[in-house]
Structure 1
Amino acid sequence: MLVTGVALLFDVVRVFLPSLITLYGRAGETDPASMGLYAALWFVLPFAAVPAARLTSPRVVTMAGAVALVAARLGLQAADGGTPQLLLASAGVTAGLGLPLRLRADAAGTWVPAGLIGGLAASSIVHLALDRVDLVWRGGPLPWLAVAALCLAFLWSVRLSPASPAPAPAAVWFAFGPMLMLAGMYCGGPAVLAQDTGQHSAPFTALAVALQVVALCAAVVYAWTTSWGWTAGLFLVAGVAAAETGVQGLPALVTAVALGACAGAAGQQADTTAGGRGGVAVLGGMLVFLAGAFLYYAAFDADLGFPNALVPVAVAVLVAAVAVRAGRRHRTAPVRRAPRRWGSIALSSALLAGFLTWQSPPATRTITGDEFTLVAYNIRMGFGLGGRLDLDRVAAWAAARRPDVVLLSEVDRGWLLNGGHDDLARIARGLGMRYYFAPAADRLWGDALLTNLPVAEIGSTRLGRHGYPTGAQAQSIVLEVGDHEVGIVNTHLQEPRGQAPEVAAIVRRLAANTLPPGVGVAGPRPVIVAGDLNTTPSDPQMRVLEAAGLSDPLRALGDPPTSPADAPVRRIDHVLISDGLTAVAADAPRVPFSDHLPLVVRLRLK
């Protein structure tokens, strides 16, 4: 019962968080306090179920909550974004959080830690196996059948679950909320792979996914065996701290396993004296989840006065403290043996997930002639105007334009706030292109280049913040187009007044095409600057870029506006070119896959 219920709740949370910033508000523009209050409302409402659970039949409360959660999840599968998606996800969160008020009494205390971690692990493994595009974002009969089967299994388990005379202690229920946050940040794949480099080989990626699956299976085992004691908390804090300092790979795996061990330590023995504290405890823990997630991601839009990396570390310390305290109170708890077949189950699941996510980088190719097509698009983390995750539709649309180079802004590679998706890998798969990622706000959010043309040089320069909280970078690339080299600067300016001069300096460096002595005379290399510059053609920052030898060819080609996408009135997305290039055609297609419109430009080398 717990496994299926937690999996459904995790599904709903992965929709609720991005809906909050794309439908209720807009990150960076809507007052964070307003979004925080809206989210808090749905996390506080379940407290009303505490007196209700005492005034009516426990079975009625349990079934009502279960039916509400299932209805919300099925509704999300049917919803096509917009306000219905926001309200269904919000109601699903409330229903999902209200369930533990009765589940804590129905679930046998000894099984609760493994059940909670099992739900988180099962959801994370399915998330990985689905290439991190969850069933809720997929159409067709197969996703519907899978979701319906999960919902039926959950309802059936709730119906058959008897009341337990020995419920789990309040500590493990309180720890669930913080553990949900840490699982969402570190157990969905992004923390295992180095996202700040180019595309990995297929075997490496598959191995990383397989190791993550094995770690998640091990977490469930350790939640059952409870054999780590206080060291579980130590490993958890160390793993999270190492991951936040930029160490990738092993820390994420350690964090996943340690989460299970901490859950086991926190729920070592049943608690017959807890009364109704467990229900309140789980809601309190979920408020920690909300506060922690809100603080961590708010730092990218506002100055918190301290590094946001301290937030998940503090949450890990809290989980560790709960586990250590509970473990000391129950030092005589028996150590259970791991199930005999857990190794074969883990290995089979790992092999399947690795196989399903196998993605070989395409081979490089050259083009003949002197023309090529470039697409520049701010994809808003892959969420369209209706709040739906549109990665596959973005890829299908772009592929139809037959681009040679695709430049993306606001690429998310695993933020919990956006559902833990890898936008870049998914779009690259649909386009059949190699990709190169450049972190900006942090190692999971930034800009990207996709191309199969030969890349002679690539790098990324972090731009100054100039008082703006969101980080920015300038990705510099040298591509081989036929017999020529073309320099490209791919960037998303956050504070154009301070960052435009920095980009201009990079343009001058790229344009200085030098050759070894005796080879010949080097001429200036043609350079393109493209992306969301948050600058209109008439702004002073544009004069700074023009002084570096750039011009705006779109003015003579209709000057198409790009923002906002539903009613564009201004152009803040640009493709600027230097001498040696001319724009043959340009367009800003009216597509609903982001809050910006893309630019499609056909360029010719002179």
Structure 2
Amino acid sequence: MSRASWCSKRKPRAPASARPERLPVAARRQADGTDATRAAVAPATLRLLSCNILAGASIARYRQYFTRGLTQVLPGPGKQANLDRLADLVAQFDLVGLQEADAGSLRSGFLNQTQYLAQAAGMPYWSDQPNRRVAQLARSANGLLSRMAPREVLDYPLPGRIPGRGALLARYGAEAAGLTVLVAHLSLGPKARARQLDFIAELLQGRGATVLMGDLNCAWPGPELQRVFARTQLQPPDDALPTYPSWRPRRAIDHILVSDGIEVLRRWTPPQAFSDHLPLAIEMRLPRLPPRA
């Protein structure tokens, strides 16, 4: 475990294709916990989004994994346009979890995509967790964008035979009345996923209001997520929405799971496809919330 850096937005070096009006966003001071320890505000709602963005690549058919193979490892104007479209959606939410964002490598034009999306969408706080690096070609990362200042952000590597998976945990508000949000991208193999889900369950045990979001690579209904439901206050969703593949969704492998006591007002998949996964969104109500920035 390590303490992840939580960043106020800073202006990234944007490629020429970026929209100029989006870049000059006033910098916020780095979150040091002061804002997050103020008294919680009255009951309100939060909108959450989770999205596997495939480093900005757009895939609309299975065959494109092969026919567009070079676009997976090379930058291009299509990726930038895709990120700009995603930023329009991100701007409608309070907390956003990203998976397969690129933290700055050849395939993204050495752009930190989490930072860029935070800036373009006007999100005051962002953090990323690079997990797997392939030379200078790719740096896969989890990301978290937020309108609220966190008390702390922690970076956990997940167990697995092949390293390169992680969980990014952020805590908001006072301990008793706060919110814990964990963003994760789990392995493809069921044995590795089982170990990772056990690890996540241990991390989330005994916490108050909790959200687990990300590409968990396992469907609900199904036995795998029971490992988490049995050991935490997280509840099975009333409706598991299919998100993969984005062009004909059949599998509900992307999830936003909330603990008992959090009221889910709405759960939906925005129709825009930004990668091979559809985004997943919820609107939820907490009894008490940390203050918004």
TM-score under structure 2 normalisation?
Answer: 0.73
Percentage of matched positions with identical amino acids? 26
CA contact (8 A) 1:565 1:590 kept: no
Q: Does 1:197 align with 2:5?
A: yes
- 1:113-167 deviations in Å (ceiling 9; x for gaps): xxxxxxxxxxxxxxxxxxxxxxxxxxxxxxxxxxxxxxxxxxxxxxxxxxxxxxx
Distance 2:144 2:177 in 1: 19
Count of residue pairs brought into register by the alignment: 239
Distance 1:367 1:384 in 2: 39
| Of 219, 223, 231, the match for 1:540 | 223
CA contact (8 A) 2:132 2:165 kept: yes
Change in Cα spacing, 1:568 to 1:583, as seen in structure 2 (3 Å) is same
Change in Cα spacing, 1:197 to 1:457, as seen in structure 2 (3 Å) is closer
Distance 1:460 1:592 in 2: 28
CA-based RMSD of the aligned residues comes to: 2.7
Deviation at 1:577, TM superposition (A): 1.2
The one-letter code of the counterpart of 2:183 is N
- Counterpart position of 2:65: none
- Counterpart position of 1:395: 87
Q: Does 1:506 align with 2:195?
A: no
The one-letter code of the counterpart of 1:551 is Q
Change in Cα spacing, 1:376 to 1:489, as seen in structure 2 (3 Å) is same
Distance 2:218 2:269 in 1: 16
Consecutive unaligned residues of structure 2, counting only runs of 5 or more, are 14-21, 61-70, 72-77, 288-293
CA contact (8 A) 1:407 1:531 kept: yes
Q: Does 1:491 align with 2:184?
A: yes
Which is bigger in relative contact order (C-alpha 8 A, separation at least 6)? Answer: 2
Distance 2:24 2:221 in 1: 47
Distance 1:594 1:198 in 2: 26
Distance 1:201 1:431 in 2: 11
Q: Secondary structure at the match of 2:271?
A: coil
| Of 385, 409, 431, the match for 2:99 | 409
Distance 1:470 1:605 in 2: 35
The one-letter code of the counterpart of 2:237 is P
Deviation at 1:549, TM superposition (A): 2.3
| Of 116, 131, 140, the match for 1:445 | 140
Where do 1:95-110 residues align within 5 Å?
Answer: none
Change in Cα spacing, 1:545 to 1:384, as seen in structure 2 (3 Å) is same
CA contact (8 A) 2:9 2:119 kept: no
CA contact (8 A) 2:50 2:97 kept: yes
CA contact (8 A) 1:553 1:582 kept: no
Change in Cα spacing, 1:537 to 1:198, as seen in structure 2 (3 Å) is same
Where do 1:167-178 residues align within 5 Å?
Answer: none
CA contact (8 A) 2:50 2:281 kept: yes
Larger radius of gyration between Structure 1 and Structure 2: 1
Distance 2:146 2:9 in 1: 16
The one-letter code of the counterpart of 1:397 is L
More strand per residue: 2
The one-letter code of the counterpart of 1:571 is A
Distance 1:498 1:414 in 2: 29
- Counterpart position of 1:361: 27
More helix per residue: 1
Q: Secondary structure at the match of 2:157?
A: strand
Distance 1:416 1:543 in 2: 39
Q: Secondary structure at the match of 1:540?
A: coil
Deviation at 1:201, TM superposition (A): 6.8
- Counterpart position of 2:56: 382
Distance 1:575 1:357 in 2: 30
CA contact (8 A) 2:9 2:115 kept: no
The one-letter code of the counterpart of 1:530 is M
Distance 2:218 2:199 in 1: 15
